[in-house]
Amino acid sequence: MDELVRELYGEPAPDPALKTRVGALLEAEARRRLRRPWSMAVAGLAAAAVVAGVVLAGVAAESPDEAPGVESGRSILLAAAITAESGTADAGAYWRVRKLVRERYPEMLGSGQNRYWMAESRVAEQWMSRSGKVWAGSAELGATPAGRADEEAWRRDGSPVRWPGHRLSTSAGKGTLEAVPGGVAFSMAGKSMTFARIRALATDPVGLRAEVEEIVSSTGADDGLVADALSGLLWSKPSPPDVRAAAYRALAELPEVRYLGQRADESGRVGAAFTFTLREPIGLVRRTLIIDTGSSQVLSSVTDAAGVRDDQVELVLEAGWTNEKPTAPDLPPGTP
């Protein structure tokens, strides 16, 4: 199946504009961390990588000649489980996930020979109180060409900032924050997951995998879907340390999870890359995670869907408990 994925998607292309934006965000987050504690800190170490000028071309597709050993990937996941297990238990009034999201606009734009893809970027935040209240924050960063060839075609098209009949714009927008009435903060395979349910998940890998398979069974519990559900427990949900550790150990035993070796995300942060494929209504989907092996935190998640390379990129800026009250996300310094 991996060979089919490579034929469909090919090699991912870096996004220089996204790297610049996330670099500014990470540096800002690093300064903010000096003023408040987090139980799961990603930005501090990541900002150092950006400042140091690490520039790599994102997650590369695995090739048969360079594929790392299965056992080495398993060892990395098991080591991450030990690190996760020693993590700080939840402490704070709100669970907060802050990420930079880039998604390819679903339609090609331009005219004649000047046809190109654009990508939308935004800072997205989710807050949840212990009582179950949910807030969603967003700040649009403005659309940019999806790749180098797209940028060239966009410039030949006159570098438009808007397109008639499309909601797209290259301008950034002011950050917003909205309470979600009766909102569901978390889900697994489309099924609601309350804070209490996540805290009550099994803390041994066999038991956790069995629970996850039962939860996702209505959509077909193949290894790819189970891997996707388990990976969500690593960063997007307020999983206790022992549940995160069990998720890492369960992932280590799934044959569908492939280790790609050390890779960098689109911001230049380096970690261990793992990929798996799953079937969704839109077709075959490949998910690739990059994990900071020193902290066991997920740095990024890339989705290649329905033959579209880098259909969605999520760069994790922060994930953890905080006592800060929900606020609209800030734009990166220097954003026009």
Segment 219-269, tens digit of pLDDT = 666 778 999 999 999 999 999 999 999 999 999 999 999 999 999 998 899
Q: How far apart are CA 311 and CA 149, in angstroms?
A: 16
* Mean pLDDT, rounded, for 4-9: 37
Q: How far apart are CA 58 and CA 40, in angstroms?
A: 23
User: What pLDDT does residue 284 have?
Assistant: 82
Q: How far apart are CA 309 and CA 321, in angstroms?
A: 33
The pTM assigned to this predicted structure is: 0.78
Could you report the per-residue pLDDT of 87-107, keeping only the tens digit for each?
A: 777 778 999 999 999 999 989
* Mean pLDDT, rounded, for 125-130: 91
Nearest to 126 by CA among 332, 327, 312, 303: 327
Q: Write down the mean pLDDT value for the chain.
A: 80
* Mean pLDDT, rounded, for 114-135: 92
Q: What is the dihedral of CA 185, 190, 192, 197, to 10 degrees?
A: -100
With cut-offs at 50, 70 and 90, classify the pLDDT of residue 5.
very low
State percent of the chain over pLDDT 70: 74
Whether the per-residue pLDDT at 6 is higher than 80: the answer is no
Whether the per-residue pLDDT at 52 is higher than 50: the answer is no
Q: How far apart are CA 260 and CA 77, in angstroms?
A: 13
